[in-house]
């Protein structure tokens, strides 16, 4: 009987449970055995696992987090780690390993392939949406929704106090969350890797100061800056200090942080996770290997794992341009 192992790895993402559920149901449909390893790749290194059946995945798809737990596993970057992981998979006579995670987790799969003959399949699970080969990753829609609702609330108090707010959003090194959330909330400024060079922030700072000043002269509403994490040297507190020092602009800082990773998955994530999970098991039955299952447009597709990791997935250029155009128009209108 074909035996599939599965694990969740790296930063958890809302919808991982829905993917686990779909994989387990599909395994039962195909009459495959399914076992889950806990705590990401650590479960393979420590042989920490559980058999998974329908009964184990009932009533989980509406919850964030992951019933298999997650972790980062630096040991997979050392040749000993993948070797040990391969031994565990052999011991359990696993035919295929499905990993739900981000680029680091997929690198773990690539490393494993050097020592293991079984099939490896990745499912894109990260709030960052930074994997090529799938329009969206599992968890991204929920993170954008959560951050959007949070900034709507910030907007209320910012308006009441006529304040400048710097709101930091997650994304590691990509601006998908920043641009989606910035546009969805009508942020006056979006600072992200796509439109700001972290090695030379002076032009952006000057522009930002002039935008805030123009806005403050012409109305007394709030000014929300959505800032991508890891972009501004010194982080949002440094930006706050620079605004104060260089232009006497007072601002408040809010780091949204890990709330973006939690919460009940949005329907889009539940559906995406379900489709990708079912397709991952179909891919095992087709003997596919070293692939990630993604969805582009309405088409499910298998893409090479190394392409998913290494190919660029830029933020929608129209959105970056739209933000710039809107800002430019806004500035012209207010300086007339």
- Does position 24 bind ligand F6P by CB under 6 A? no
**128 vs 188 by CB, closer to ligand F6P:** 128
Binding piece for ligand F6P, criterion CB under 6 A, among 50-58, 75-83, 148-156, 164-172: 164-172
Distance separating alpha carbons of residues 141 and 147, to the nearest angstrom:
10
Distance separating alpha carbons of residues 255 and 274, to the nearest angstrom:
31
Distance separating alpha carbons of residues 281 and 80, to the nearest angstrom:
29
- Does position 69 bind ligand F6P by CB under 6 A? no
**113 vs 261 by CB, closer to ligand F6P:** 261
Binding piece for ligand F6P, criterion CB under 6 A, among 122-130, 159-167, 191-199, 273-281: 122-130
- Does position 313 bind ligand F6P by CB under 6 A? no
Is 250 designated active site? Answer: no
Among 56, 95, 103, 128, which one carries the catalytic annotation? Answer: 128
Q: Are 294 and 133 a contacting pair, CB within 8 Å?
A: yes
Burial (CB count within 10 angstroms: exposed 0-12, middle 13-18, buried 19+), residue 227: buried
In angstroms, what is the minimal distance from the CB of 320 to ligand F6P? 19
DSSP class per residue in 236-288: HHHHHHHHHHHH---EEEEE-GGGGG-SSPPHHHHHHHHHHHHHHHHHHHTT-
Angle between helices 202-218 and 235-247 (to 10 degrees): 60
- Does position 64 bind ligand F6P by CB under 6 A? no
- Does position 109 bind ligand F6P by CB under 6 A? no
**118 vs 139 by CB, closer to ligand F6P:** 139
Q: Are 149 and 307 a contacting pair, CB within 8 Å?
A: no
- Does position 172 bind ligand F6P by CB under 6 A? yes
Half-sphere exposure of residue 10: CA atoms within 13 angstroms, side-chain side: 25
Q: β-strand 223-228 against 189-191: which pairing, if any?
A: parallel
Name which of residues 195 to 234 contact ligand F6P (CB under 6 A): 229
**102 vs 122 by CB, closer to ligand F6P:** 102
- Does position 171 bind ligand F6P by CB under 6 A? yes
**124 vs 171 by CB, closer to ligand F6P:** 171
Distance separating alpha carbons of residues 15 and 144, to the nearest angstrom:
13
In angstroms, what is the minimal distance from the CB of 105 to ligand F6P? 10
DSSP class per residue in 58-79: TT-TT-SS-TT-----GGGGST
Selected from 4, 7, 8, 11, the binder of ligand F6P by CB under 6 A is: 11
- Does position 132 bind ligand F6P by CB under 6 A? no
# chain residues binding ligand F6P, by CB under 6 A: 10
Burial (CB count within 10 angstroms: exposed 0-12, middle 13-18, buried 19+), residue 53: middle
- Does position 102 bind ligand F6P by CB under 6 A? yes
- Does position 126 bind ligand F6P by CB under 6 A? yes
- Does position 88 bind ligand F6P by CB under 6 A? no
Angle at 132 between CA 131 and CA 137, to 5 degrees: 45
- Does position 261 bind ligand F6P by CB under 6 A? yes
Residue ranges in contact with ligand F6P by CB under 6 A: 11, 102, 126-128, 170-172, 229, 261
Question: Catalytic residues, which ones?
Answer: 128
């Amino acid at each position: 009987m074909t035996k599939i192992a599965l694990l969740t790895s790296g930063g958890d993402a809302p919808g991982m449970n829905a993917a686990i559920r779909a994989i387990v149901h599909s395994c039962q449909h195909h009459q495959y055995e399914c076992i889950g390893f806990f705590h990401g790749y650590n479960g393979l290194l420590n042989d920490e696992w559980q058999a998974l059946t329908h009964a184990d995945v009932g009533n989980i798809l509406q919850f964030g987090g992951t019933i298999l737990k997650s972790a980062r596993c630096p040991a997979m970057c050392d040749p000993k780690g993948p070797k040990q992981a391969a031994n565990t998979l052999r011991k359990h006579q696993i035919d295929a390993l499905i990993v739900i995670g981000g680029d680091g987790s997929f690198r773990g799969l690539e490393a494993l392939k050097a020592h293991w003959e079984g099939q490896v399949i990745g499912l894109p699970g990260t709030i960052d949406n930074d994997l090529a080969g799938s329009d969206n990753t599992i968890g991204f829609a929920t993170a954008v929704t959560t951050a959007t609702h949070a900034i709507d609330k910030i907007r209320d108090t910012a308006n009441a106090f006529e304040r400048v707010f710097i709101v930091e959003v997650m994304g590691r090194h990509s601006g998908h969350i920043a641009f989606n959330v910035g546009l969805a909330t009508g942020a006056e400024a979006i600072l992200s890797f796509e439109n700001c060079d972290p090695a030379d922030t002076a032009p952006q700072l000057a522009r930002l100061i002039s935008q805030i000043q123009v806005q403050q002269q012409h109305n007394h509403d709030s000014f929300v800056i959505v800032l991508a994490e890891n972009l501004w040297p010194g982080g949002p507190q440094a930006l706050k200090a620079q605004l104060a020092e260089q232009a006497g602009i007072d601002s408040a800082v809010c780091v949204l942080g890990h709330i973006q990773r939690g919460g009940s998955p949005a329907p889009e994530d539940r559906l995406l996770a379900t489709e990708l999970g079912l397709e991952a098991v179909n891919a095992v039955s087709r003997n596919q290997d070293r692939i990630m299952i993604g969805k582009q447009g309405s088409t499910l597709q298998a893409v090479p794992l190394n392409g998913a990791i290494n190919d660029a997935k830029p933020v929608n250029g129209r959105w970056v341009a739209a933000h710039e155009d809107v800002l430019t128009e806004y500035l012209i209108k207010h300086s007339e």
